[in-house]
Amino acid sequence: MLRALVVVAVFLGAVTTGALASNRLRLRQNTLKAMLASVNHISMRMEYTLEPLAALAHACKNDTTAVFFDAFAEKLKTEPNAHAAWADAMCYAKSVDPGFASLHREESKAFEEYALVLGRSGYRQQHKNASLLQEQLALIVSKAQEENLKKGRLYKSLGVLGGIAVAILLI
Amino acid sequence: MQLNETALWKRQISSVLPDKLNDMLAQIDDKLALEEVRIRAEQPLQLCCGGFDKLIYAAGGKPAATLEDCQEIVSRVTGHSIYAWEDELKHGFITLPGGYRVGLCGKAVKEGGGFSQFADFTSINIRISRACAGAADKVMRGLVRPNGHIYPALIISPPGCGKTTLLRDIARQLSYGGACGAGLKVSLIDERMELAGSVRGAALFDLGPRTDVLSGCGKPEGIRMAVRVLSPDVIITDELGGQDDAAAVEDAAFCGVVTIASAHVTDITALRKRLPLSALLYSGAIQRIILLGREDGRAGSIMEMYDGDLQPLQRRKGGVLCFERW
């Protein structure tokens, strides 16, 4: 009886680990897509409304990016520049949101480079800066999508197969 | 809203200054009649008061502000959004809530052969804006005709002598009415958002119940727009300068609307030489000149009042206003 319980527990553990690894890939892809949407929105709204960054951050957040943009708008009140506010907000978002925590270093670097120029120049320069990030993100998102498709399934299958293998060994 | 001036300036500008500059300002007496706070990269902080100034160094005689501090101030002043203030930056200033004008100086960036805006800001001049109820008491009698109508007037002085404060109180008094008769419809053309201290269009200073504020709009367009759509009795605007401004004032006068404005002019001789402004005297669009200056270093002293022929009013036989043309 005890052995049966251990086998089931090990099997479920392996499946869950595989699912979590797969889910992390999906979350990363979703977060990147949501950030791309928010950056597009900011760039467009900046052109038409000339609202300050704090207002843009509130207006252009979505369900996924709210955790980051709310913190960004808040940090803008105290930080000496937008870059510092962005870095602080990203740090906070990574600590509380698994989607942001799953971002890779190269993705964080792309955002950081965008934030370096954010709000520090005229509209035309801002537009160019946003276009650069949009291009980078589009590439990153397509890679993340591919990775999610390939590795996501792989991790799930590995979890199930690994679980079955360990269960057989235990039996 | 009437502003309580004591230490208000500290609160108003502290949000845009780095902590170390706020610490320096915290040691300044709240009741000091401060006119300007000047911040320069690698230089001490300069506080300009009535007739004297004060240089404040950081500990050890070091400069009060660095180049980074200046960039940080500009970033804070613009809400970290320089793109939202491009037009203002082209003119070299941004107005803070409360009407505090932040003048900027740095490396000029050219675009299409002309000046576009500043980059690498190295000097910042924060002018402390004040509401001074009663500032216009001494000039109101000179602005009212015997029949109760208002003379079109130009307030002149070198920079920093209180023109804006005086204009603000004239607007308030005309709008409320009372000493100058019934309240009048006043249109305030506030190009630099300094006169009304507008925050999102709402005037921060008390400008009276009959005052419409057109803020952020160029003077010539603003004056013509006000005449067309606001049917004002009096138009008040700051810092007339070019031909376009003068032409708009003249147009308003021909439409029967009185303009009271200010201009950066040192004295009557200089006024005669500024053709767009002196043309207003000849056309009758301006019939009173108020010369402001500093007495014992204090701004806001009325040095002289002149009529449309540039004759001092006080020296006229028979009193101040009895022999006027209108």
The structure's pTM equals 0.74
A121 in contact with B, Cβ within 8 Å? yes
pLDDT for residue B114: 66
CB-CB contact of B207 with B3 (8 Å): no
Q: How far apart are CA B6 and CA A113, in angstroms?
A: 44
pLDDT at residue B273 tops 80: yes
Tens-digit pLDDT string for chain A (171 aa): 787 888 888 888 887 888 788 788 888 889 999 999 999 999 999 989 989 999 999 999 999 999 999 999 999 999 989 999 999 999 999 999 999 998 989 899 999 999 999 998 888 889 999 999 999 999 998 888 888 888 878 877 888 888 888 888 877
pLDDT for residue B34: 83
Share the mean pLDDT of chain B: 85
Mean pLDDT of B290-302: 80
Q: Which residue of B has its CA nearest to A51?
A: B84
Q: How far apart are CA B308 and CA B63, in angstroms?
A: 50
Phi-psi map region of B246: left, alpha, beta (phi>0 left; psi -120 to 50 alpha): alpha
B321 band by pLDDT with thresholds 50, 70 and 90: very low
Instruction: Note whether A80 contacts B117, CB cutoff 8 Å.
Output: no
A60 in contact with B, Cβ within 8 Å? no
pLDDT for residue A85: 95
Instruction: Note whether A52 contacts B82, CB cutoff 8 Å.
Output: no
A78 in contact with B, Cβ within 8 Å? no
pLDDT at residue B315 tops 80: no
B72 in contact with A, Cβ within 8 Å? yes
CB-CB contact of B81 with A76 (8 Å): no
pLDDT at residue B326 tops 70: no
CB-CB contact of B44 with B63 (8 Å): yes
Which residues in chain B are contacts of A51 at CB distance < 8 A?
A: 81, 84
B66 band by pLDDT with thresholds 50, 70 and 90: very high
Mean pLDDT of B106-113: 77
Q: Which of A44, A121, A124, A125 should be substituted to probe chain B, the one whose Cβ sees the most B Cβ atoms within 10 Å?
A: A121
- Percent of chain B beyond pLDDT 90? 47
Q: How far apart are CA B299 and CA A158, in angstroms?
A: 82
CA dist list (Å): B319 to A91, B292, B306, B314: 74, 21, 13, 7
What residues does B289 pair with on adjacent strands?
B154, B306
Structural domains of chain B ordered from first start:
8-127 (3.30.450.90), 137-307 (3.40.50.300)
Q: Which two tokens stand for residue A134?
A: 């949009």
Which residues in chain A are contacts of B81 at CB distance < 8 A?
A: 51-53, 56, 82, 119
Compare B21 and B5 and report the one with higher pLDDT: B21
Considering only the beta carbons, identify the residue of B72, B83, B117 that sits closest to A81.
B72
Instruction: Note whether B81 contacts A53, CB cutoff 8 Å.
Output: yes
For residue B218, give every residue at least 6 positions away whose Cβ sits within 8 Å of its Cβ, in sequence order, or none.
B191
Q: Strand B52-56 to strand B45-49: parallel, antiparallel, or no bridges (unpaired)?
A: antiparallel
Compare B220 and B129 and report the one with higher pLDDT: B220
ipTM associated with this complex = 0.80
Q: Which stretch of A148-157, B144-153, B263-272 has the lowest confidence by average pLDDT?
A: A148-157
Domain spans of chain A, in order of start? 2-170
